[in-house]
Amino acid sequence: MSSLLEMKNISKSFSGNKVLSGVNLLVEEGEVHALLGENGAGKSTLMKILGGIYTKDGGTISIDGEEVQIHSVDDARDKGVSIIHQELMLAEHLTIAENIFMGREIKNKAGIVNLKKQEQIAQGFLDQYEIGLESNLRLDKLTIAKQQMVEIIRAVSFGAKIIVMDEPTSSLSDAEVEILYEMIRVLKKKAVAVIYISHRLNELYDITDRITVLRDGESVGTVVTKETKRQQLISMMVGRDLSSYYTKTDNVVNETVLKVTDLSDGNKVKRVNFDLKKGEILGIAGLVGAGRSETVECLFGLTQKKAGIIEYKGKEVAFKNPREAMAQGFGFVPEDRKQEGLFLQSDVRFNTTINIVERFLKKLLWNRQKENEIVSEKIDDMHIKVTGASQIVSKLSGGNQQKVLIARWLCSTRTVLILDEPTRGVDVKTKAEIYALIDNLAKSGMSIIMVSSELPELINMSDRVMVMCNGYSTGILKRDELSQENIMTLATTEVGA
Amino acid sequence: MEAKKTKENWFASFGRSVLAGLKTNGGIIIGLIIICIILGIMTDPFLTIRNFTNIMRQISINVILACGMTMVIILGGIDLSVGSIIAVSGCLCCGLITNMGVPSYAAIPISILAGTLVGIFNGAVISRTTIPPFIVTLAMMNIGRGFARIYTKATTILVDDELFTFIGSGTVLGGIPIHIVYMVIVIAVSALILNRTKLGRNIYAVGDNKQAAAYSGIHAKKVTMTVFVIMGFFAACAGIISSARTFSGQFNVGEGAEMDAISAVVLGGTSMSGGIGHLSGTIIGCVVIGVLNNGMNILGIDSSWQYVVKGIVVLLAVFIDYFKKIRE
Ligand SMILES: Nc1ncnc2c1ncn2[C@@H]1O[C@H](COP(=O)(O)OP(=O)(O)OP(=O)(O)O)[C@@H](O)[C@H]1O
Ligand SMILES: [Mg+2]
């Protein structure tokens, strides 16, 4: 019997730069098949070829044993392939039903959309997959996780046989990940194949049957998940063993840099208390919606505090905007790199140096050499995979985009660096590098606030962790108290409800 | 480190900018050369020094506007009011000199200020609200034109003034038309702003991703305001020059100038959605439009057809650009 999907010898170059060469992928019916590989290994590119977004240079794609030509997204859809992108492609101001039927509305003879009928059918799908939602809800009323469900339902409603999920969990909380798993299990039962891309190895063990590893645009091999150890996966992916994953030294100096008392932004942040010492890494934990990002955004002057006191180096401060915060030595790597972080149409150089332009743009002179030196130093230090400093950032793989964003803040010394999900979409090797980097920054006397949804990361990297629930800080755990259970208990402790 | 410290030389650096400009604008330069060759073969007077200076004079106003427009469009905006600003400053200046007897050395700065005020208004509204620049400047286009009409009572105000005449048609340094001097100054100022200042970087940043710009501590309001004020100032200066060239203030001066400026910017490869663009492209765009106008005039092509041709050229350029992007 032939496989459901067979991609053979796929190759692809972007303007002479070889990204995939001779990649093979075999996926069976009802299988959850992981694609694993470092940032820039070519996972997304391979899937975009399958989804009709890019055209391959060479190789063949067969579905159900029959060779197919996929030239566009519509082609792919006709052949039963749907991609759930990391950035959801839905219209926020339309209802669930309207989104599901977007582009193929059910119309009556006069050409008027039959909303009732659409809602009925959509509801059918929602019920079938046991998603407790009404199909006439507007999308912006839903959490990201729910929106993702809708996107998956949309794919299913197209009759998808193969659903690709490119880093689907990167903005989900643990509970939401569970819901996604549940959905994947239902898809499996219906013989749909799921291709699952994630940098979180735990997830692969949770949900996938087999794993295909890519390295530098070549397939290294396919393994059965159950029979493969973590170390084995990592060495397949990286090409060598990764000795130390977390780098953590004790750098805390007993000198309070920042003290936050009863902070509130009048919205999601209700009452937050913590202090930050010099050289300390303070983790912030909590479920999605706990107000973690909102808290750090308020510290950085992106929103204004309504109540409470922020004391910085012993003086009360209230930054009206990020400019003031930056002038005082604050730095901020935002959560959503595409919306809040990067200048996607501009090149790596521009993105890296935007905060320090006065260093090489002086008196109407542009010291390119200096700028290039700064940029290539960062590219080397952080092993950013680029064709050069002039590569446009939107053409980089997700993880490398994240590195560029972090690199931006390493160009200048900061007293307090706020990192919101710093390792989102970053591969294991790079994660290890980023951890070492963070540790080094702390060693140099910088104080770090790290918001993260990855508990192992918080537990292993933080000196202390502040836990939040519904806008309140529910406790601060010291290093020896850090454990998943302790964090989760505090993360679900309702205050003043 | 120390050994490598060759101090960046102003001219070497300038040369590199020009080279980079040529490289990014390869396509349109080839197009321009083809047009020139065709026109050179078809007509005798096209390839002469005299005609060349002519073209330079003809495109000077558009270059001034297009330089400002490049910044506006890279910022992610658009300014439709520049043609009307030309009328406001030009007519006001002529009125002040002829009807009120204000000496020209005072009338000129006053009128430039008046024109710039329109830019200040545009900038203030656009930077402080989320009203689209298209709407704000469209309204100002009508208001400005209306005022010019009211002020001139829909007639032509003639001016006889020495300084004014010199501004409009003088020569400097033994025969160089003063228009070329204006162009060089405006291009230099704009190029310096865009490529050699923090403001320039910030213009690109805001145009690329406003939210990310805010997260990087960029004062987007101030940047937007500054750009629209510069645009207003450039347009106001262009207004004085336009009126001086015809020794008169006409209420319809500069009508449609915004479209020529936008066309030049688009021809030069600047993205209408902001964040991407080069001044060098815009300048070549201006030359293309100028050469087309001039060549078609020499060929005696009816002005209605000239519009059609110019429209097609712009469409062609955008299509080529579009397909280039698709292929990537
Ligand atoms: N449109 C494009 N133009 C040029 N280069 C591209 C383009 N898309 C991807 N690349 C390059 O192809 C390589 C593979 O990118 P891809 O996005 O497939 O990586 P990935 O495995 O998904 O990585 P990540 O885990 O970081 O998401 C990268 O080096 C990237 O720079
Ligand atoms: Mg990817």
Provide the pLDDT confidence category of residue A245 given band limits of 50, 70 and 90: confident
The per-residue pLDDT for B1 is 35
Distance from A1 to chain B by nearest Cα, in Å? Answer: 38
Distance from A369 to chain B by nearest Cα, in Å? Answer: 8
**pLDDT digits 0-9 by tens, A42-96:** 999 999 999 998 999 999 999 998 999 999 888 898 899 999 886 677 788 888 8
Distance CA B323, CA A412 (A): 40
ipTM value, please give it: 0.86
Number of H helices, E strands in chain B: 14, 4
Matching CATH topology for A5-238 and A253-491? yes
The per-residue pLDDT for A174 is 77
Tell me the two tokens of residue B94: 């002529």
**b/e map A453-487, b = 16+ CB within 10 Å:** bbbebbbbbbbbbbbbbbbbbbbbbeeeebeeebb
Distances (CA, A) of B238 to A321, B137, B156: 37, 17, 18
Find the length of chain A: 497
Secondary structure letter of residue A338 according to DSSP: I
Q: How far is the CA of A100 from the centre of ligand 1 (A)?
A: 29
Using the predicted structure, report yes or no on whether residue A381 has a pLDDT greater than 90. Answer: no
Phi and psi at B197, nearest 5°, equal: -130, 160
C-beta of residue B152 within 8 angstroms of C-beta of residue B126: no
Q: Do A365 and B13 touch (CB under 8 A)?
A: yes
Distance CA B159, CA A176 (A): 75
The per-residue pLDDT for A99 is 87
Distance CA A409, CA B216 (A): 10
What separation, in Å, do the N-terminal and C-terminal C-alpha atoms of chain A show?
58
Residue appearing with tokens 């959905």 = A183
**pLDDT digits 0-9 by tens, B278-303:** 999 999 999 999 999 899 888 888 88
> Which ligand is located closest to the Cα atom of residue A237?
1
Partners of residue A473 on adjacent β-strands = A468
Nearest partner of B254 among B267, B242, B269, B262, judged by Cα: B242
Chain-centroid distance of CA A408 in Å reads 18
C-beta of residue A252 within 8 angstroms of C-beta of residue A453: no
Mutate to test the interface with B, among A73, A320, A346 (most CBs of B within 10 A): A346
**pLDDT digits 0-9 by tens, A464-482:** 999 999 999 999 999 999 9
Among A394, A395, A424, the mutation site with the greatest number of ligand 1 atoms within 8 A of its Cβ is A395
Residue B181's SS3 state is: helix
**b/e map A22-37, b = 16+ CB within 10 Å:** ebebbbeebbbbbbbb
Q: How far is the CA of B321 from the centre of ligand 1 (A)?
A: 23
Distance from A419 to chain B by nearest Cα, in Å? Answer: 13
Tell me the two tokens of residue A95: 């209802």
Distance CA A24, CA A174 (A): 32
Residues from chain B that touch A366, judged by Cβ atoms under 8 A, are: 8, 13, 195-196
* CA torsion through residues A471, A472, A477, A481, sign: negative
* CA torsion through residues B150, B156, B160, B161, sign: positive
Residue A176's SS3 state is: helix
**pLDDT digits 0-9 by tens, A390-431:** 999 998 988 899 999 999 999 988 999 999 999 888 888 888
Secondary structure element (H or E) that encloses residue A25, with its range: strand A17-27
> Which ligand is located closest to the Cα atom of residue A48?
1
As averages over each run of 10 residues, the pLDDT of chain B (328 residues) reads 45 72 77 88 85 90 97 96 96 94 93 96 96 96 95 91 89 88 95 94 95 93 97 97 92 91 91 90 92 89 88 83 70
Q: At what angle do helices B220-246 and B162-169 cross, to 10 degrees?
A: 110
Distances (CA, A) of A276 to A260, A325, A448, B190: 9, 16, 8, 46
Q: Which CATH superfamily is domain A253-491 in?
A: P-loop containing nucleotide triphosphate hydrolases (3.40.50.300)
CATH architecture of B50-327: Orthogonal Bundle (1.10)
Q: Which CATH superfamily is domain A5-238 in?
A: P-loop containing nucleotide triphosphate hydrolases (3.40.50.300)
Distance from A182 to chain B by nearest Cα, in Å? Answer: 35
C-beta of residue A288 within 8 angstroms of C-beta of residue A454: no
- Give the residues surrounding ligand 1 with Cβ less than 6 Å away: A 14, 19, 37, 39-45, 385, 395-400, 425, 427
Among A12, A19, A204, the mutation site with the greatest number of ligand 1 atoms within 8 A of its Cβ is A19
- Closest residue by Cα to atom 17, ligand 1, is A397
Residues in A whose CB is inside 8 Å of some CB of B read 14-15, 302, 321-323, 325-326, 332, 334, 339-346, 350, 354-355, 357-358, 361, 364-369, 408
Instruction: Work out the mean pLDDT of chain A and round it to a whole number.
Output: 89
Delimit the domains of chain A by residue range.
5-238, 253-491
The per-residue pLDDT for B45 is 83
Residues with beta carbon < 5 A to ion ligand 2? Answer: A 44, 398
Distances (CA, A) of A33 to A154, A206, A210, A222: 21, 12, 5, 9
Number of H helices, E strands in chain A: 16, 22
Using the predicted structure, report yes or no on whether residue A433 has a pLDDT greater than 90. Answer: no
Ligand 1 atom closest to the CA of A45, numbered from 1:
18
Delimit the domains of chain B by residue range.
50-327
Phi and psi at A19, nearest 5°, equal: -105, -35
Residues from chain A that touch B279, judged by Cβ atoms under 8 A, are: none
